[in-house]
Amino acid sequence: MKYKLITLSLTLFLTQPNWAVAPSPTACPEVTAIKEIGARKAVKSSMMGWIAYNMKQSYNTPQQWTFSIAGIDAKSEEEAITKANYVISTLSLQEGPIRGHKQNEWGCLYVAGSYFALATTPPDNSPPSMMLSRYIH
């Protein structure tokens, strides 16, 4: 009986998602796919201006990603999204995929003029400013 309990406990421990190792992505989200989908939400950050983002999109990859672009100067969420989508039209991949600071997290860095953007996988519920700060210092 003790052996069965130990086996069951070990099986449950090893199969939990927190301990599963996510494979590294082989490619970053395609810029063309990011441009097609664009940003759909925005949040005001005291440190980074408006951050426009889109959560849980594959962007023509096997993984789900969260995409964020920071430093948008706007007076409202709607204006931030509009401006971000204009900036996204000039986006280019700078680096990635690179390992993030959290376990099993991967990121891709993009630039568009003086703006910086980030795609992270797997997507999580962290605020976009927190996700960006893990990669851009």
Domain positions in the chain = 27-133
Indicate the residue type of 21. V
State how far the Cα of 45 lies from the Cα of 66, in Å rounded to an integer.
17
Residues 58-106: tens digit of each pLDDT: 999 999 999 999 999 999 999 999 999 999 999 999 999 999 877 788 9
- What average pLDDT does this structure show over 35-48? 92
Burial 64-83 (b: 16+ CB within 10 A, else e): ebbbbbbbbebeeeeebbbb
- The pTM score is 0.75
Q: Tell me the CA distances in angstroms from 110 to 43, 68, 80, 82, 84, one per residue in order.
A: 19, 10, 18, 18, 13
